[in-house]
Amino acid sequence: MLKATIDADIFRESIDAIAALVTECRMHVEPDRLYTRAVDTANVAMVSLQVKKEAFETYQATKEELGLDIAKLKNMLGMMGKGDKLDLSLPEGGHRMEIAFNRYRYALTLLDVNTIRKDPNPPTIELPGKVILTGEALQAAIKAASMVSDKIALGIDPDNKFFYMVAEGDTDHIRLELGQSEVESLTLVEVRSLFSLDYLKDMGRVMGKAEKVEIHLGVNHPVKFSFDFADRNGHIDYLLAPRIEAE
Amino acid sequence: MGVALRDIIIEYKKPIAWEGLAGIAAVDAHNALYQFLSIIRQPDGTPLMDSHGRITSHLSGILFRTLNFLEMGIRSVYVFDGEPPHFKQGTIETRRGQRIAAKERWQEALEKGEIGEAYKHARSSARVDAAVIDSSWQLLHLLGVPSVQAPSEGEAQAAFMAQIGDVQYSVSQDYDSLLFGSPVLARNLTVSGKRKVRGRTISINPERIILKEVLNGLSITREQLVEIALLVGTDFNEGVHGIGAKTALKIVKRREFGATLEKELPDFDPVPIMNFFLQPPVNTDYKLSWTPPDREGIRRMLCDQYEFSPERIDSALDKLATTSGQKTLDRWF
């Protein structure tokens, strides 16, 4: 059972975060939160999202697992106005969730959870490098890199004390260095990994709205982007596998 | 199939992590296709087929192995057999007989409801025919993976490509690649990491054999390795009854190859086969270029023509679009 009211913007942010990687997911409903963890079809990137009870204006729920068609929900978001309130309601064991907003009552048929990929296990990765910067700066860097290449290297240079992003195209090259005074926090440890901008562009659109994004890095390891939304009552982690650096 | 050199090579078969295989690999197409056809089957031995009865096991194998290779940073070139040398005729006839017998035993086992037996015999009945080869060429072309036509044996062509540095190593289960002079041979590069051996499923891991290490380790030349193979038996000759690889090694090191053959097989002339291994006919006029996969073309071929599930193919194509040098998260879960 779920009966809740939420601000349309918070709902939009949650769905956008998931839609950046997958078109459907298993959403776990619990008495004090909603959460999902899903991996894209290519097994390259993962999203973990949690929205606490406090992010909602009203929230009542019992434990349930819902199969959500994220692509459909994303289309529906277009019909919502800024500041709209959304009423979500699902009876115990129900197969359709009712989403009411701005005089619309939308009945969303839930997917059979057994047809959706199981939640991946939480990965166990040691990522020693950490930098915190604004979502806006991160998104701008991703955009700049995608003008010259389809991949970007992220790393920390502990000797020169900066975090860097480098994109090398066939003919052009772009590099951004941010020193300790230009970022919120920087762990000085040597790390570097290369990533696909195809994924980062989609994630960047979501991360661009975050006040701060924690970036966790290793050597030829996945990158983890960690950030809050909904006044810290919502939290998103993205994990992206690295590309192999050309010799 | 191939040549039974395992006993003297075992020490030089080194396990290798997939990461160590990143590079360009020449795949013995016939060997790979035979593996797909024999392994990718239903429990009763029926291969994957479309509604017209056309076999599709090899197409599934090519698609998923290509994906797996790309993910590991391996770019493949498939090398296809050309005209077999006339001295392979005996082996070809024997294999044809074995296939026909296996097919009969498969049917018998099915009639008796012995599913395990049926699967075993079905595997031995696998045949790489013209339809399999044509559809493989077509799919590889759509995947953007180059294919090379060998004038004769594919393994010989792959070995030549590795010798001149166009590829880093050849991929085959058969040791013949070493006889043809492949500097590096990689084996066991299967997607599942499992193989059925005499009815049991065993875990297998990629392994690499470096020809120089074998020759230096055994203190022999490549010519002597070929002599050992001729004594043991190859696809081109029967060998001497009762002589295995270890005995053959001793004979060759004692320089008694000629005398042994004269005594045991007086009518056998080893020279044409020796020459075939040491200077096989090869194609030097080929071009290796990898192009992005033709997503629509693959969908048309596999889903519209051969009736693969569109969901399965779309998911594979999504992966293909991103896996060229892209690692996946699997190893961190």
User: In the predicted model, what is the mean pLDDT of chain A?
Assistant: 92
Q: Is B73 on the interface with A (CB under 8 A)?
A: yes
Predicted pLDDT at B198: 59
Residues 65-124 of A with CB under 8 A from B: 120-121, 123-124
Domain with CATH 3.70.10.10 in chain A: 129-240
Q: How far apart are CA B214 and CA A212, in angstroms?
A: 58
Contact B318 A41 (CB under 8 A): yes
Residues of B in contact with A121 (CB under 8 A): 333
Annotated domain spans of chain B: 1-213, 219-280
pTM given for the model: 0.60
Residue A247 has pLDDT above 50, yes or no: no
Residue A170 has pLDDT above 80, yes or no: no
Say if CB B245 and CB B7 are below 8 A apart: yes
HSE on the CB side for A74, CA within 13 Å?
14
Domain with CATH 3.10.150.10 in chain A: 2-114
Q: Render pLDDT for B250-305 as a digit per residue (tens, 0 to 9).
A: 999 999 999 999 999 988 999 999 999 999 999 999 988 887 788 889 999 999 99
Taking residues A49-63, report their average pLDDT. 97
- Report which secondary-structure segment, H or E, holds B289: none
List the one residue out of A141, A139, A157, A128 whose CA is nearest residue A217.
A128
* pLDDT tens, chain B, 333 aa long: 577 888 999 999 999 888 778 788 999 999 899 888 888 877 777 788 888 888 899 999 999 898 888 877 788 999 999 998 888 777 777 878 787 888 788 788 778 877 777 777 777 777 888 999 999 999 999 998 999 999 999 999 999 999 998 999 999 988 999 999 999 999 988 766 666 655 667 778 899 999 999 999 999 999 999 999 999 999 899 899 999 999 999 999 999 999 999 999 988 999 999 999 999 999 999 988 887 788 889 999 999 999 999 988 988 887 776 666 777 787 787
Residues 273-302 of B with CB under 8 A from A: none
Calculate how close chain B gets to A242, using CA atoms only, in Å. Answer: 6
Predicted pLDDT at A103: 85
Contact B326 A41 (CB under 8 A): no
Q: Is B17 on the interface with A (CB under 8 A)?
A: no
- How does DSSP assign A146-203, residue by residue? HTT-SEEEEEEETTTTEEEEEEE-SS-EEEEEEEGGGSSEE----EEEEEEHHHHHHH
Predicted pLDDT at B110: 76
DSSP state of A99: E
Residues of A in contact with B314 (CB under 8 A): 41
Q: Render pLDDT for A80-110 as a digit per residue (tens, 0 to 9).
A: 888 889 999 999 888 999 999 988 899 999 9
CATH number of A129-240: 3.70.10.10
Contact B332 A244 (CB under 8 A): no
Q: Give the CATH architecture of domain B219-280.
A: Orthogonal Bundle (1.10)
Predicted pLDDT at B323: 60
Say if CB B185 and CB B211 are below 8 A apart: yes
Tell me the fold of B1-213.
Rossmann fold (3.40.50)
Q: Is A241 on the interface with B (CB under 8 A)?
A: yes
In order of A183, B117, B230, the CA distances from B261 in angstroms are 78, 40, 9
Q: Render pLDDT for A183-228 as a digit per residue (tens, 0 to 9).
A: 999 999 999 999 999 899 999 999 999 999 999 999 989 999 999 9
Q: Report yes or no for ipTM above 0.85.
A: yes
**To probe the interface with A, which of B312, B326, B331 has the most A CB atoms within 10 Å?**
B326
**What's A2-114's CATH class?**
alpha beta
Say if CB B280 and CB B156 are below 8 A apart: yes
Residues of B in contact with A47 (CB under 8 A): none
Say if CB B172 and CB B28 are below 8 A apart: yes
Predicted pLDDT at B87: 84
The residue of chain A with its CA nearest to that of B311 is: A41
Predicted pLDDT at A187: 95
Q: Render pLDDT for B141-181 as a digit per residue (tens, 0 to 9).
A: 999 899 999 999 999 999 999 999 899 999 998 899 999 99
Say if CB A43 and CB B330 are below 8 A apart: yes
Predicted pLDDT at B49: 83
Residues of B in contact with A221 (CB under 8 A): 332
Which amino acid is present at A132? Answer: I
Pairing relationship of beta strands B169-171 and B23-28 according to DSSP bridges = parallel
Given pLDDT bands bounded at 50, 70 and 90, which one contains residue A77? confident
